[in-house]
Amino acid sequence: MKETLDYCVQVLNERGVDKFQCSLANKKQYEMNLEGTAFSLIRTITDHTLSITVIKDQRKGTIFVNGVDEQSIRAAVDTALELSSTSQPDPDYDISPKQDMRVFQRGPKEPEPERMYELLKEYSQEVPALFPTIKLMETTFMHTHSVTRFVNSNGVEFMTDTGVYELSSIFASKDGEKSTSFNYSGFSMRDLEKSLLERGSLKVLLRQSEEHLEARPFAGHFVGDVIFTPDCLNVLLHLYAMTFLGDSALIGGTSPFKNKLGQKVADDKLTISSQPVSEAMASGYFVTRDGFAADNVTLVEEGVLKSFLLSQYGSKKTGFERAKNEGRCWVVEPGEKSLTEMISQVDRGLLVARYSGGSPSSNGDFSAVAKNSYYIENGKIMYPVTETMIAGNLVDILANVKEISSERVDFGEGIIPYLWTTGVTISGK
Amino acid sequence: MIVRNLQQYFPLVSQYTELKSQENRILRVAYLQGNLVQNVKNSTRGISARVYRNGCWGFASTPDMTDVKKVIQEATDNAIFLDAREQKGLAPFASDSPVLEKNFGTKKPRLGQKEIMDFTKEVDSYIAGKYPKLSSRQVSLNCLDMEKTLITSDGASLYSLLPRSTFVVSLSIDKDGDTVEVYNLAGGQGQFEDNFASPEDLYPMIDELYEHLVRKSEGVYAKAGLKDCILDPDLAGILAHEAIGHTTEADFVLGGSVATEYLNKQAASPLVTLVDFAHSYNGETLPMPIYIDDEGTEARDVVIIEQGILKNYMHNKQTARHFGVKPDGNARAYQYHDEPLIRMRNTAILPGTSKLEDMIASIEDGYYLVKSSNGQADTTSEFMFGVVLGYEIKNGKLAKAIKDLTISGVAFEVLQHVTMVSDDMSWSCGGMCGKKQMIPVGMGGPALKTKVNIGGR
């Protein structure tokens, strides 16, 4: 690997490129698949990604290739130079400044196929035994080992060596003519000690899926409370970051938070951070795509906006500080009440387990179908619902937080609680 | 460069094997507010093998084009690992051995990078110059070439180059503190040179988009509830793909999709015939033409719904055998390192006999829904689509534009309520369908008159 990237740097130097960054990632993935409860496929993938960005006369070009022989590397450098020479100049294009050389290592480098098979077999047997009406649709269990070397012309050099196991499972329930919406979840892990059903939120979601065989349309239209499950809140946090905090929203000027840094944007009870380098994250990352050593970042602290998620380019374009990472790996600080206590205090609302909707408008307005969700009235879950929509504003959702649960789900790529909010329009059929 | 002659490796094969060499080439250029925020090329190429052994599959891939022997061995080992433990004892699949070469690359001289960049910049400059009141504008060019060679040990053989190139233009203006956005897409199947002769060709689309934006900025909120609506072909195509098509993919059927309840029953209005076309319709090549799929099966059209009756599911070899039918070429893979999954190709509702103007005239109080921003659907056929462009229909005429809204419902019910189908048809090829892997698909249709649940606050 070192020789390959060194050759790339040599070609860039030969071509007279004085500002560049390049990285080479070598990936090996080992994957087992279930279709239903039957093993269907084992897949082994070897891949490389050579990424080259050149900046010449303030003009930038980037290429990604997976051919890493000398001829392919020379062709890739020439293409990157052609992309750069034909682009428009922008003084804000840059590469990261000199940083100390760092080596990062985390997770198992080699998969344990026998143990993976054993765990997945157990999953394929336990699910129908514990949840007889569940239909597993697609389950993927994989190990990925990636070794990445990053260098740039300012002398930055990072080596990253990570190994992680990941499981994802999609399922629905069917009993005679009754069938439910599908649901899914997944998680990352570094070891194979625990059974798969003991991790993440799968056990809860599988139970809920069976309960949804008795789901019915909700009749009514009101503004009320919603408790978002950890799986659902995880999705909302991605949408929140993308809509309000990233390069596109701030360079385009569409973020309602563009003048809110250091100001209150959410309820006091809410603290959200992105923790890619935390020991708790099986699926973290150590280096940003623009060549900075990543660090954990608090985005919202007790309701106050502390950081955007701007890249170096976004930072230069907008004048705001560059973020210390590029998001994901969300951690939401827990509250003091349990989910059960929270539900007992809801007058009228929904427990929303899956957000089926697109990205919110740039102002945060959203409308979505509340999938795999339950109607709550007078502190009790009344029944699972179908064909029920929720509409609101993502800024308001986090400004109107009533409680955050004490229990959280560890997805290995985020640690997320239940979140109880209000002011959401709930519409039935 | 992909490996064209894979036949030489078959002496190494002891089980049923698919061998593929593929390269996907991508160019992305994007201007946001005049800033060049994306100027990227991506090339992913390699070799993969998939081996079948007594009901178990093994797959392996490598980017090293010279490692064919190693890939076949790894895939075989993976199949052996599973077979030894699962012992399914299933027979080989029925043999199919179509042979074909299809190259949809341009016959025109290829443009250089500078010419493409200048073209894109000129489109952006046109917008900036003509519409200075915009609060934001984005012009994105996406070009994808998928070139592959596939052979199977049954004797199937395919070489194909499937390109597509699209421009997406997004425009925003601020109105009363809110940002109003619209977007549209141009292009489709074919390389840049075949789809975009001159920047001026895009200006009518941009001018029309701006007109929509202005009207939308003065638009009103749609009223929530079940309403008479006309779904423009863009939305009818998404409904056909997302909300009906996916429920009839046989792997989802086996996973309990609602389509099992409709087979050979009235699933939609008799006005509705829904087909997943392989490659052609009325003699014209469709946006995503598939002639042989990634399992080496010859691709044929699948009539999913015929005059309202659900007739067929879509299959790969394995599910076709399960259901006792022949596969029709729906097993597709996106990258060289992807295994084939059951996917749609070009999914559309067939045109009817009504005129769009008559359909609009037939509605006293409803909506004409034109463009969707996104869509999600369920195995129950329950769906949700964001609608970013639409108009009120009042007393049979188009009235005010409407602000962003969400429509939802149960797709089979929506199709049961279809009372008019327009006699025209249009296709789109801009989207990627996600299902473990992303893959480009085509979708299309006529306009439909039906009842749709309008979401609202």
> Would residue B1 count as lying in a domain?
no
Q: Are residues B177 and B285 in the same domain?
A: no
Report the C-alpha gap between A429 and B273 in whole angstroms: 27
Query: Do B233 and B200 have their domain in common?
Result: no
Q: What is the mean pLDDT of chain B?
A: 94
Residue B395 lies in a domain: yes
**Based on C-alpha coordinates, what's the Rg of chain B?**
23
Q: Which two tokens stand for residue B272?
A: 């509705």
How far apart, in whole angstroms, are the C-alpha atoms of residue A416 and residue A335? 11
Residue that is written with structure tokens 């109880």 in the block? A420
The whole-model pTM stands at 0.93
**Are residues B100 and B209 both part of a single domain?**
yes
Interface contact A358, partner B, CB < 8 A: yes
Distances, alpha carbon B280 to alpha carbons A153, A368, B19, B194, B427, in Å? 51, 35, 26, 18, 12
Give just the sign of the alpha carbon dihedral A242, A247, A253, A259. Answer: positive
Taking the CA of residue B166 and the nearest CA in chain A, the distance in Å comes to 19
Q: pLDDT for B161-182, tens place per residue?
A: 999 999 999 999 998 878 899 9
Nearest CA in chain A to B85: A117
Domain of B27: which CATH number?
A: 3.30.2290.10
CA distance linking residue B87 with residue B89, whole number of Å: 5
Q: Are residues B209 and B312 in the same domain?
A: no
Residue A426: which H helix or E strand, with range? strand A414-427
Q: In chain A, what are the domain boundaries?
A: 2-214, 217-427
Decide: A341 and A360 in contact? Cβ < 8 Å: no
Instruction: Indicate whether B389 and B290 sit together in one domain.
Output: yes
Q: Are residues B386 and B250 in the same domain?
A: yes
Domain of residue B80 covers 7-217
To the nearest whole Å, the CA of A361 is away from the closest chain B CA by 8
Q: How many CB pairs under 8 A join A and B?
A: 238
Asked whether residue B300 carries a pLDDT value surpassing 90, the answer given is: yes
Give residue-wise pLDDT tens across range A233-246. Answer: 999 999 999 999 99
Q: Is residue B91 part of a domain?
A: yes
Q: Is the dihedral of CA B280, B284, B286, B290 positive or negative?
A: positive
Q: What residues in B contact A85, CB-CB < 8 Å?
A: 114
Domain boundary (B185, B217, B249) is at: B217
Q: How many CB atoms lie within 10 A of CB A99?
A: 16
DSSP 3-state percent helix, strand, coil across chain A (nearest 5): 25, 40, 35
Taking the Cβ of residue A170 and every Cβ of chain B, the question of whether any pair is shorter than 8 Å is answered with: yes
Residue of B304, B317, B310, B202 whose CA lies nearest to B245: B304
State how far Cα B111 lies from the chain centre.
Answer: 27
DSSP string, A308-340: -B--HHHHHHHSSPPPSS---SEEE---SB-HH
Q: Residue A228 burial (CB < 10 Å; 0-12/13-18/19+)?
A: buried
Domain count, chain B: 2
Are B176 and B78 in the same domain? yes
Domain end (from B217, B246, B277): B217
Tens of pLDDT, residue by residue over A90-138, are 999 999 999 999 999 999 999 999 999 999 999 999 999 999 999 999 9
Average pLDDT for residues A9-15, to the nearest whole number? 95
**What is the DSSP annotation of A146-202?**
EEEEEEETTS-EEEEEEEEEEEEEEEEEEETTEE---EEEEEEES---S-GGGSTTH
Judgement on whether residues B242 and B189 belong to the same structural domain of the protein: no
From chain A residues 226-255, the ones with a CB under 8 A of any chain B CB are: 247-248, 251-254
Chain B residues closer than 8 Å to A65 by CB: 42-44
- E-state strands within A335-398: 348-352, 354-356, 365-371, 373-377, 380-386, 389-393
Residues B236 and B208 in one domain: no
Structure tokens that stand for A334 in this block:
């827990």
Which residues of chain A are within 8 Å of residue B135 when distances are taken between CB atoms? 253-254
| Whether residue B29 is found in the same domain as residue B63 | yes
* CATH, domain A2-214, list 3.40.50.1820, 3.30.2290.10, 3.10.20.70, 3.90.1170.50: 3.30.2290.10
d(CA B377, CA B100): 35
- The distance of A321 to chain B (nearest Cα, Å) reads 18
User: Cβ contacts (< 8 Å) between B224 and chain A: which residues?
Assistant: 221, 427
* Interchain CB contact of A113 with B (< 8 Å): yes
Q: How confident is the model at residue B419 (pLDDT cuts 50, 70, 90)?
A: very high
Domain boundary among the residues B195, B217, B239 is at B217
- Helix, strand, coil fractions of chain B, as percent rounded to 5: 25, 45, 35
Q: Are A374 and A303 in contact (CB under 8 A)?
A: no
Count of other CB atoms within 10 angstroms of residue A97:
12
B263 with B335, same domain? yes
pLDDT number for residue A254? 87
A105-109, A223-227, B350-354, B401-405: which range is least confident on average? B401-405
Q: Rounded to whole angstroms, how far apart are CA atoms A195 and A49?
A: 33
Q: Which residues contact A75 (CB under 8 A, 6 or more apart)?
A: none
Say what the pLDDT of residue A419 is: 98
Q: Of B118, B224, B406, which has the smallest distance from its Cβ to A368's Cβ?
A: B406
CA A72 – CA A408 distance, rounded (Å) = 47
Q: What is the pLDDT of residue B386?
A: 87
Query: Residue B69's pLDDT is what?
Result: 92
Q: Is the pLDDT of residue B457 over 60?
A: no
Collect all residues of chain B within an 8 Å Cβ-Cβ radius of residue A64. 40-44
> What six digits make up the tokens of B283?
């003699």
Whole-angstrom distance, CA of residue B280 vs CA of residue B64: 35
Provide the pLDDT for residue A387. 84
pLDDT in tens, B422-449: 999 999 877 788 888 999 999 999 999 9
**Contacts of residue B84, Cβ cutoff 8 Å, sequence gap at least 6:** none
Model confidence at B456: pLDDT above 90: no
- Residue B2, in any domain of the structure: no
Is residue A323 a contact partner of residue A293, using CB atoms and an 8 Å limit?
A: no
Do B179 and B282 reside in the same domain of the chain? no
Tell which residue, A160, A378, A408, has the closest CA to residue A286. Answer: A160
Contact B404 A365 (CB under 8 A): yes
Residue A184: pLDDT band with limits 50, 70, 90: very high
Q: Using an 8 Å CB-CB cutoff, list chain B residues near A361.
A: 179, 181, 404
- pLDDT average, residue stretch B122-151: 96
Helices B68-86, A113-130: crossing angle, 10 deg rounding? 40
Q: Is the pLDDT of residue B48 over 80?
A: yes
Using CA atoms of A197, A199, A201, A202 in order, give the dihedral in degrees to the nearest 10.
-20
| Residue B82 lies inside a defined structural domain of this protein | yes
B11 part of a folded domain = yes
Cβ of A44 and B61 within 8 Å? yes
Q: What is the mean pLDDT of chain A?
A: 95
